Amino acid sequence: MGNDRIKPGTPTFSASTSYTDLVNLGRAPHQHHGFINIPVYHGSTVLFPTAKAYIEYKQEYTYTRTGTPTSRNFEKAVAKLEGGFGTIVCPSGLNAISTSLLAFLKNGDHLLMVDSVYKSTRRFCEMFLRNLDIETTYYDPLIGAGIERFIKSNTRVIYIESPGSQTMEVQDLPAIADVAHQHEIVVIADNTWATSVYYDVLKLGADVNVQAVTKYIGGHSDLMMGVATAGCEKHYAALKSAHMLQGIQVSGDDINLAARGLRTLRLRLERHMENGIAVAEWLGTRTEIVEVLHPALAGSPGHDIWKRDFEGAGSLFSVRLKPYDDDAVFAMLDHLEHFGIGASWGGFESLVIPFNPSINRTASDWPDKGYSLRFYIGLENPEDLIADLKSGFEVLNSFKS
Ligand SMILES: Cc1ncc(COP(=O)(O)O)c(C=O)c1O
């Protein structure tokens, strides 16, 4: 479905993520009888006043699949929040990622994908793009400008996810984007971890900013959605075309929840960041742990780049454990009261999962054979989380005789 080679463009606006903007973006009370929030438009058919108007097909809303006041106002709010030209809204984060890739790739093209990418994105490359004869090469997340050596004459997209899923490496986006743009390659960035509040990827060189709204914008574990925002009109046209041709549309009820999430995004992120760092620092004092992988902590891979490029941190991070039997690790996690065990993150409640990244890596090594732990820190009191973890470590250590 990809377009012909698209030259990178310049973002039209600069990002603005103040509390005031988050409160006001995408609302128009006086166009809606004074109601503070945009009403939820449920629809399929949209009526035209006359047969001639239908043939001309020029009215603002023509068919629900192509947009409603609910969806268009949310798109505009996100585009402004992200400092971009335009946004598409998709039914999941993964769908925003796949639609973005399909917008810029066609058969015979080559994609450079970060090795630490979210595993379902990797699966899309291996099981879908491969069938379209689109080749994917995985690169080390810490490669920086060294990415140039992997560029081929048919490389059309470089994909970034910073920090990396689970292993949390922060990438040198400006250095990679610089190289990419010298070769007229489009840079797509998964910006779910920090959101545009803390990481202005379009300003730092990405051409498309993708986020799983499911996580922090949704914020309450009751919503699946994704957005992709292009920095310039040309890239937006490519996104919009891939979105429209696939017939993607999201329910107004879900968009209403996502718009509500925007209002408190910055406030929640600040508390998540504070809690996340408090728990991560405490974990760093524990003898059971080899390394805490949290971009805001010194020593974490890419920490200096995080300090340079980010204005804050998400509350998702990982720890490498000393070698323990799987049963001991599972017993520790099962014992925790304040940490649910499950995929996804971004809600108000803390989560933990065991993981082994070596299963999903091909271009960079992972040092451990056993499980590491990925924590997501919610809005609870950090001292309650720490007390819970302390008791979990007692269970872990009880397995060592
Ligand atoms: C970094 C990242 N990007 C994208 C996604 C996909 O989002 P969704 O679950 O909404 O498809 C996830 C999901 O966990 C994720 O962690």
What does the alpha-carbon distance between residue 235 and residue 85 come to, in Å, rounded to a whole number? Answer: 9
Catalytic residue among 118, 138, 139, 236: 118
**In the predicted model, what is the mean pLDDT of residues 94-122?**
98
pLDDT band at 401 (very low <50, low <70, confident <90, very high): low
* Matching CATH number, 266-398, of 3.40.50.300, 1.20.120.1630, 3.90.1150.10, 3.90.226.10: 3.90.1150.10
What does the alpha-carbon distance between residue 292 and residue 322 come to, in Å, rounded to a whole number? Answer: 12
Given this model, what pLDDT does residue 140 score?
96
Is residue 119 pLDDT above 90, yes or no? yes
Ligand 1 in reach of 165 Cβ (< 6 A): yes
Catalytic residue status for 190: yes
pLDDT digits (tens, 9 = 90+) for 46-94: 999 999 999 999 999 999 999 999 999 999 999 999 999 999 999 999 9
Catalytic residue among 65, 307, 390, 400: 65
Is residue 259 pLDDT above 90, yes or no? yes
Q: Where in the chain is the domain with CATH 3.40.640.10?
A: 19-263
User: Are 93 and 107 contacting, i.e. CB atoms less than 8 angstroms apart?
Assistant: no
* Level-2 CATH architecture, domain 19-263: 3-Layer(aba) Sandwich (3.40)
Ligand 1 in reach of 111 Cβ (< 6 A): no
Ligand 1 in reach of 92 Cβ (< 6 A): yes
What does the alpha-carbon distance between residue 323 and residue 337 come to, in Å, rounded to a whole number? Answer: 24
Given this model, what pLDDT does residue 195 score?
97
Determine the atom of ligand 1 nearest the C-alpha atom of 225. Answer: 10
Catalytic residue status for 215: yes
Is residue 15 pLDDT above 70, yes or no? no
> How many other CB atoms are there within 10 angstroms of residue 296's CB atom?
20
pTM: 0.94
Q: Where in the chain is the domain with CATH 3.90.1150.10?
A: 266-398
What's the residue count for the chain? 401
Ligand 1 in reach of 254 Cβ (< 6 A): no
- Distance (Å) from CA 401 to ligand 1 centroid: 40
pLDDT digits (tens, 9 = 90+) for 289-313: 999 999 999 999 999 999 999 999 9
